[in-house]
């Protein structure tokens, strides 16, 4: 029996890391299995990479967007291996993390939230929490578990540890990482591991201890990037994807079902027809693109995205009063006068980001409810951040240069109910538009590894889907 597969065309919309990972893995799987597949990738801007943007300047490596990643799933490492660039991965140096509360900087255990290394005892014994706050936090050992399906992250930690731990530790770390409002962010979507610990062990403190000794998901991992910056990953993906099929500077306006195919309307070239589409655009853009086809997406509320900016400053060495041997990152409590939400001493964290004789700092400004600052001019932002660095780490002098990168409406906020809304949406899409997939930072995790995982999963599912019916005698 001769099996002939009919040729199929898949469009990937959006050339950020999710779209590039999806296109790369589809191309690889198609080549490996001899599948007759054409892949097109459509990106509205003139460059690929989306939020991943590295500026290499006079020996400095400046990340305008994400700076590194925690790769619990090893998805980025596997992608790097598949691209032949695994040897370019580098790990961060050990160093201290602080929280700025009032006028002081208090050391806290590193990777408290993102790294899941919740060493509760050490933050409770640190000077950041008052005696009554510590007693309240220890109440976690006695409190019963709850059976709430989903709740705001803030409510969960307030319930377990009390108000002080939330204000001085949980909120600054979360605002610094996700620029979010903990009174709305969903525990189930963002930190399911913590509600699972409560369910399994009742107390988070006991759960952490047990999980750590069982070497479970609470294991520590270090942050990673590439020797020459995160954009190395994008450059490698771009050089491995068939570039004849990449359209840059072309915006997708709508996608409609047309008989068995999908018609993609573009802003500046003729429509393209294809058999399947992987959409990696932010949810609100995807909603616009698909709303003609799908009642459920039209009726869904828009998703909130935080507006933030990264501000990178290079100084001649030794202008900070801080002990440079252990300083690395500090987060800022809302109970302080600072405008910045977090700041990293980049050349202590990474060996390769600044030339000899210079220090490189990277701060974030803007978070939900506090975004107007991002609209200020570059020089006003530089002045504000410099004043914060003077107050917090005793920075002297002026920077050699400053790079301000604004990210408007860029950090998706997974608010309470996010998971169930997205599950319902995906179920409906599978029923009504089986050859369409929605993936990327708006859906199942915003980190770079989460985006790679989603892109790869969509690629696999899509190939299985479109080639299953094509087998003919």
Contact residues for ligand FAD, defined by CB under 6 A: 13-19, 42-45, 50-52, 65-69, 251-252, 280-281, 285, 308, 310, 407, 410-411, 440-441, 446-448, 451
Closest CB to ligand FAD among 336 and 342? 342
Structure tokens at 193: 């591991």
- Which residue, 168 or 281, has its beta carbon nearer to ligand FAD? 281
Based on CB atoms, which residue is closest to ligand FAD, 310 or 402? 310
DSSP symbols for 199-219: HHHSSHHHHHHHHHHTT-TT-
Return the closest-CA partner of residue 392 out of 402, 384, 403: 384
For residue 97, CA distances in Å to 63, 220, 360, 374 come to 20, 15, 17, 25
Helices 192-201 & 204-213, crossing angle to 10 degrees?
A: 100
CB nearer to ligand FAD: pick between 17 and 237: 17
Alpha carbons 131 and 111: distance in angstroms, whole number: 24
DSSP E strands in 217-290: the ranges are 223-226, 246-248, 252-258, 261-266, 272-274, 276-279
Please give the C-alpha separations between residue 309 and each of 351, 367, 410, in angstroms, as whole numbers.
24, 9, 10
How distant, in Å, are the alpha carbons of 290, 315, 400, 416, 458 from that of 358?
A: 49, 6, 9, 44, 43
Q: Tokens for 45, please give them.
A: 């801007």
- Beta carbon of residue 411, minimum distance to ligand FAD (angstroms, whole number): 6
CB of 227 to ligand FAD, least distance (A): 17
The least CB distance from residue 385 to ligand FAD, in Å, is 15
Q: Which is nearer to ligand FAD, 13 or 197 (CB)?
A: 13
- The CB-of-119 to ligand FAD minimum distance in angstroms stands at 22
Q: Quick one: 50 or 207, whose CB is closer to ligand FAD?
A: 50
Q: Which is nearer to ligand FAD, 176 or 207 (CB)?
A: 176
Closest approach, Cβ 456 to ligand FAD, in A, equals 13
Nearer to ligand FAD, 66 or 115 (CB): 66
Min dist. Cβ of residue 360 to ligand FAD (A): 15
Least Å distance between CB 17 and ligand FAD? 5
To ligand FAD, the closest distance from the beta carbon of 342 in angstroms equals: 10
Measured from the CB of residue 455, what is the shortest distance to ligand FAD in angstroms? 8
Residue 14 or 115: which CB sits closer to ligand FAD? 14
Q: How far apart are CA 459 and CA 149, in angstroms?
A: 31
What is d(CA 85, CA 13) in angstroms, rounded to the nearest whole number?
25
- Compute CA 379 distance to the chain's CA centroid, rounded to the nearest angstrom: 28
Could you tell me how many residues make up the chain? 473
Specify the residue, 69 or 338, whose C-beta has the smaller distance to ligand FAD.
Answer: 69
Q: How many CA atoms lie within 13 A of 70 on its CB side?
A: 18
CB of 44 to ligand FAD, least distance (A): 4
3-state secondary structure of 370: strand
Phi, psi of 357 (to 5 degrees): 90, 0
């Amino acid at each position: 029996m001769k099996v002939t597969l009919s040729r199929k065309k898949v469009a990937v919309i959006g050339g950020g890391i999710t779209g590039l990972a999806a296109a790369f893995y589809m191309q690889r799987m198609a080549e490996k299995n001899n599948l007759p597949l054409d892949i097109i990738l459509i990106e509205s801007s003139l460059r690929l990479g989306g939020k991943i943007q590295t500026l290499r300047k006079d020996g400095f490596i400046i990340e305008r967007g994400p700076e590194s990643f925690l790769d619990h799933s090893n998805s980025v490492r596997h992608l790097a291996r598949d691209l032949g660039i695994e040897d370019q991965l580098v790990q961060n140096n050990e160093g201290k993390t602080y929280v700025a509360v009032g006028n002081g900087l208090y050391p806290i255990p590193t990777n408290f939230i993102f790294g899941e290394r919740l060493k509760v005892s050490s933050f409770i014994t640190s000077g950041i929490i008052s005696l009554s706050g510590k007693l309240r936090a220890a109440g976690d050992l006695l409190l019963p578990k709850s059976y709430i399906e989903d709740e705001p992250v803030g409510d969960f930690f307030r319930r377990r540890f009390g108000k002080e731990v939330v204000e001085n530790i949980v909120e600054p770390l979360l605002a610094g990482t996700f620029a979010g409002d903990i009174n709305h962010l969903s525990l189930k979507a963002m930190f399911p591991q913590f509600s699972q610990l409560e369910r399994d062990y009742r107390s988070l403190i006991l759960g952490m201890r047990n999980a750590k000794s069982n070497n479970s998901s609470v294991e520590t991992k270090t942050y990673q990037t590439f020797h020459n910056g995160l954009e190395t990953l994008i450059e490698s993906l771009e050089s491995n994807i068939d570039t004849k099929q990449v359209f840059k500077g072309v915006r997708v306006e709508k996608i409609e079902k047309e008989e068995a195919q999908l018609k993609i309307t573009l802003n500046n070239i003729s429509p393209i027809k294809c058999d399947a589409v992987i959409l990696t655009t932010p949810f609100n853009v995807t909603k616009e693109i698909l709303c003609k086809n799908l009642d459920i997406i039209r009726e869904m509320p828009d998703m909130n995205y935080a507006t933030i900016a990264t501000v990178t400053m290079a100084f001649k060495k030794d202008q900070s009063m801080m002990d440079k041997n252990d300083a690395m990152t500090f987060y800022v409590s809302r109970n302080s006068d600072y405008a910045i939400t977090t700041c990293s001493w980049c050349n202590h964290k990474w060996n390769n980001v600044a030339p000899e004789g210079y220090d490189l700092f990277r701060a974030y400004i803007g978070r939900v409810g506090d975004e107007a600052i991002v609209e200020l001019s570059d020089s006003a932002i530089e002045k504000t951040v410099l004043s914060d660095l003077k107050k917090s780490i005793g920075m002297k002098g002026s920077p050699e240069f400053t790079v301000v990168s604004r990210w408007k409406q860029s950090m998706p906020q997974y608010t309470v109910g996010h998971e169930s809304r997205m599950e319902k949406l995906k179920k409906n899409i599978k029923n009504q538009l089986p050859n369409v997939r929605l993936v990327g930072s708006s859906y199942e995790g915003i980190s770079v590894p989460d985006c790679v995982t989603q892109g790869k999963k969509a690629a696999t599912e899509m190939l299985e889907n479109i080639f299953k019916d094509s087998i003919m005698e």
